[in-house]
Amino acid sequence: MSRFVVLAINSFNHIENKTGNMLIRYRQDEVVAVIDPEKKGLTSKDVIGIGESIPVVESFNDAKKYHPDHLVIGNAPQGGIVSKDMYLEIEEAIKNGINIISGMHQFLSEDKYLKDLANEHGSSIVDLRKPPDPPNFSKGSWINRNTPVALVVGTDCDTGKMTTAWEIKTRLNKLGKNVEFIGTGQTGILLSDGVAIDAVVSDFVAGEVENLIDRKIKKETDLVIVEGQGALSNYAYSGVTLGLIHGCMPDYFILTHDPSRSKDVMGQPLPKIKEFMQLHIDLMSPFKKTSFIGINLLTYEMNDKEASNIISDFETLYNLPTTDLIRFGDAGLIKSVYNLI
């Protein structure tokens, strides 16, 4: 069992610390501390409502007493560049023989100083976003595929696409279904395996996803569920979303949405839900018929009554099973997917 310390300088919150939060949610027993000077002295539960008594400390030196063996970069800043403050903490961790796990676009294993330092102190540096070499190009294997594939898409970044995919996979597995999960970002890869699709050269995005699906499908596989990235309506990240759609050639879409937002992370108005779902269906129409089979809402900004009301409204408006899987459980969403496969 690993002993992770999560590096989340001034970013330990519900949105920015995506990778760290998922480790805390799904591998809580392996997380020994979180580094965030702004919230030092608090616990993980104080900050994000999960993680119980995992302490938040000011620096790696304060985390040493919890005997970590890995430092994981928990946040995912735009551009994926390591800040000076982060670099200093990483340097200190390596000097103490700690292994580094990074999901940044800036490959730390190619930083000569850190690489030499790691060799000197017996540490490893893993860059989760390094794409496969050689890359995989599309072969059109979806044409003869018999196993259904579901892709989780969102109205924006940070709407819970990875969480939704993982929750559906684990809940269906408990019900006896054989469901495979494919991670397409650093967090999903940490939980299972996959490829950080936003680091892949654009010509190969669809091919990498197709290859992952082909590798996952076995005779007994009931469903492959793929973690989505970005959003078709987000001008900064729509390219990777489109590549994922064409790589998956999904039979089903599952929508994630944060109803407390009026604008996306780039400051643009969020799309209208019906038009947004139809856009996905239209993009698939030259290839195959597909449909949305459920909605998972991110409601942590709302109180229980507000969240319950918005879920009920969505079910009425869009005629799809809707829930917040983390907050309210399966509702009709898991049953809907179960019955389809």
- Map out the domains of the chain as residue ranges: 4-127, 141-340
- Whether 248 and 197 have beta carbons less than 8 Å apart is answered as no
- Whether 33 and 97 have beta carbons less than 8 Å apart is answered as no
Give the residues across from 43 on adjacent strands: 55
d(CA 94, CA 336) in angstroms, rounded, equals 47
- Whether 155 and 228 have beta carbons less than 8 Å apart is answered as no
For 107-158, the pLDDT digits (tens) are 999 999 999 999 999 999 999 999 999 999 999 999 999 999 999 999 999 9
Q: Which fold has domain 4-127?
A: Rossmann fold (3.40.50)
The pTM (predicted TM-score) of the whole model is 0.91
- The correct answer on CATH 3.40.50.150 for the domain covering 141-340 is no
H-only helix segments in 132-254: 161-174, 186-191, 205-216, 238-248
d(CA 341, CA 69) in angstroms, rounded, equals 41
d(CA 181, CA 149) in angstroms, rounded, equals 10
For 50-92, the pLDDT digits (tens) are 999 999 999 999 999 999 999 999 997 777 789 999 999 999 9
Fold agreement between 4-127 and 141-340: yes
d(CA 84, CA 81) in angstroms, rounded, equals 10
Q: Is 339 helix (H, G, I), strand (E, B) or coil?
A: helix
- Whether 64 and 82 have beta carbons less than 8 Å apart is answered as no
